[in-house]
Amino acid sequence: MRNMECVVVKVIPPNRAKREWLERTARAFAQAVQCGLAEAQRERTANRNRLHYTVYPQARALGLPADYARMAVNAAVALARSYYGQRKSPHFSKVSFPHVNGSQGIGLGVRAYAIVRDGDRFVLRVSTGHRGQYVWLPLAVPVRYAERVAAARGDARLFQRGADWYVALAVRVLPTPTGCSGEEPTFIGVDLGIVRHAVVVAPGAVAFFDGKADRWRREHGAALRRRYQRHRRTDRVRAQRGKERRWMRALNHQISRQIVNLAATYAHPVIVLERLEGIRYRAKGGKRFNRMLSSWAFRELVDMVRYKAARAGIAVVLADPRNTSKTCPECGHATRANRPEQGRFRCVRCGYQGNADYVAARNIAAAGPTALLHGRPDTARLASAGQAGDAGSRLDGVKVCASAHTDPNLVSPMFGTPAL
């Protein structure tokens, strides 16, 4: 079970312009979620990538800013999942497909909002999708909630009940650590790619799993397939594809094994991977089959690292993939200009230079503590994540308790938090 504490805070009644913005955005958000549900029902799927592909552009067309469109897709995915999750229930035939009833509110992704604190006063700063333009919503925070509100992270939700607006904030609570407290976790950053299969950065170690040598093989395979295609030997094309898949799988087994073995040499290792959305950026371009193979192989490699780590009792956390490739690991400056060309990193502020994949792996490792605290621990052995995380100074003061809702009538499951 996820230990998620949900704190609901009232928004001090906003002025008319803000109220209109909230209502307009909530309407568009509900429509977008409904589009997602319609698609999920039609395609009989709750697959995030598939729904994202069709629903995201629709949501944007409804006028939703990118962050909100993404959250609308997440909300539809979560609802569709909860529906399909009941398939095994004996009452499934009586369960109707979910639809939006207008009380969805507005999902706020981590980038869409910030909580600005000034002493005892809190203001929710909400992005409008236009650079530098925000809607500022002062919050009525009871004193006893102050620390929790200040620590809120992750996805949030603005919603209306009657005439009032509320914001539901998530505070992640880690599972009870079992002994071993005081041990520092070691974060092992793994950047997975297509050209270079993986770069692993751990204290005192960098491992490159280079894919350049395989590239020849894949290009050769593509050329073979083209030739078979010309001679209309689809059987040969298919056989060749199968061969390539099997070869990639064997390679993935080797790489994932080595990554997990490397991690196992550390005390209290935590493997940090990027969340899977990363593949969209990596698998751009290329021939259709190569692209398909790439994303398939990439996903498989991620899955192998995950289950091999879980088997070895090593925690895996998933870091936010945004900015990992363009942030300077030395000074923290993040801009696209730091990547003058593919494969090379050069910080425009401090001049730091390095291999782009190595830089990404370092950034991923650095995102480990945050991912461990707020992200989605991704291991069958949650206890070991708790153990590893226990030492982090950022965890100080986080009380361990069961999922506690402040008001069961106001709280509904947070968006975008898939069940483990």
Q: How far is the CB of 351 from Zn ion (least distance, A)?
A: 7
Residue whose token pair is 């909860």: 82
Q: How far is the CB of 265 from Zn ion (least distance, A)?
A: 30
**Cβ atoms of 388 and 353 closer than 8 Å:** no
Binding window for Zn ion (CB under 5 A); candidates: 58-66, 108-116, 301-309, 322-330: 322-330
Beta strands in 148-248 (DSSP E): 156-161, 164-172, 186-192, 196-202, 205-210
Count of positions on this chain that bind Zn ion (CB under 5 A): 8
Q: How far is the CB of 278 from Zn ion (least distance, A)?
A: 22
Q: How far is the CB of 21 from Zn ion (least distance, A)?
A: 37
Distance, in Å, from the CA atom of 150 to the CA atom of 155, rounded to the nearest integer, reads 14
Q: How far is the CB of 327 from Zn ion (least distance, A)?
A: 9
Tell which one of 333, 339, 346, 376 touches Zn ion (CB under 5 A). 333
Tell which one of 7, 328, 361, 364 touches Zn ion (CB under 5 A). 328
Closer residue to Zn ion in complex, CB, 250/331? 331
DSSP character for 174? P
Task: Produce one character per residue of 166-199: b if its CB has 16 or more CB atoms within 10 Å, e if not.
Answer: bbbbbbbbbbebeeeeeeebbbbbbbbbbebbbb
Q: How far is the CB of 200 from Zn ion (least distance, A)?
A: 22
Closer residue to Zn ion in complex, CB, 85/351? 351
Closer residue to Zn ion in complex, CB, 187/345? 345
Residue whose token pair is 């094994």: 257
Binding window for Zn ion (CB under 5 A); candidates: 95-103, 224-232, 291-299, 324-332: 324-332
Applying CB under 5 A, does 337 fall inside the site for Zn ion?
no
Applying CB under 5 A, does 156 fall inside the site for Zn ion?
no
Residue whose token pair is 């100080």: 396
Closer residue to Zn ion in complex, CB, 35/361? 361
DSSP character for 334? B
Closer residue to Zn ion in complex, CB, 350/420? 350
HEC states along 356-403?
Answer: HHHHHHHHHHHCHHHHHHHCCECCCCHHHHHHHHCCCHHHCCCCCCCC
**What is the distance between the terminal CA atoms of the chain, rounded to a whole angstrom?**
7
Contacts of 24 (CB under 8 A, 6+ apart): none
Supply the DSSP string of 106-153, one letter for each residue: EEE-TTTEEEEEETTEEEEEEE-SSTT-EEEEEEE--GGGHHHHHT--
CA 249 from centroid of its chain's CA atoms: 25
Q: How far is the CB of 358 from Zn ion (least distance, A)?
A: 14
* CA-based torsion, 61, 169, 374, 366: positive or negative: positive
Q: How far is the CB of 331 from Zn ion (least distance, A)?
A: 3
**Number of helical H runs and strand E runs in the chain:** 11, 14
Applying CB under 5 A, does 350 fall inside the site for Zn ion?
yes
Closer residue to Zn ion in complex, CB, 223/350? 350
| SS3 category, 288 | helix
Q: How far is the CB of 347 from Zn ion (least distance, A)?
A: 3
Tell which one of 330, 339, 346, 353 touches Zn ion (CB under 5 A). 330
Applying CB under 5 A, does 347 fall inside the site for Zn ion?
yes
Distance, in Å, from the CA atom of 415 to the CA atom of 75, rounded to the nearest integer, reads 5
87-126 residues near Zn ion, rule: CB under 5 A: none
Binding window for Zn ion (CB under 5 A); candidates: 268-276, 295-303, 331-339, 365-373: 331-339
Closer residue to Zn ion in complex, CB, 331/420? 331
CA 402 from centroid of its chain's CA atoms: 24
Angle subtended at Cα 52 by Cα 47 and Cα 57, rounded to the nearest 5 degrees: 155
Closer residue to Zn ion in complex, CB, 290/353? 353
Closer residue to Zn ion in complex, CB, 145/358? 358
Binding window for Zn ion (CB under 5 A); candidates: 141-149, 192-200, 328-336, 395-403: 328-336
Binding window for Zn ion (CB under 5 A); candidates: 24-32, 352-360, 377-385, 403-411: 352-360
Applying CB under 5 A, does 352 fall inside the site for Zn ion?
yes
211-250 residues near Zn ion, rule: CB under 5 A: none
Binding window for Zn ion (CB under 5 A); candidates: 130-138, 167-175, 300-308, 346-354: 346-354
Tell which one of 331, 400, 404, 420 touches Zn ion (CB under 5 A). 331
Closer residue to Zn ion in complex, CB, 350/419? 350
**Binding positions for Zn ion, rule: CB under 5 A:** 328, 330-331, 333, 347, 349-350, 352
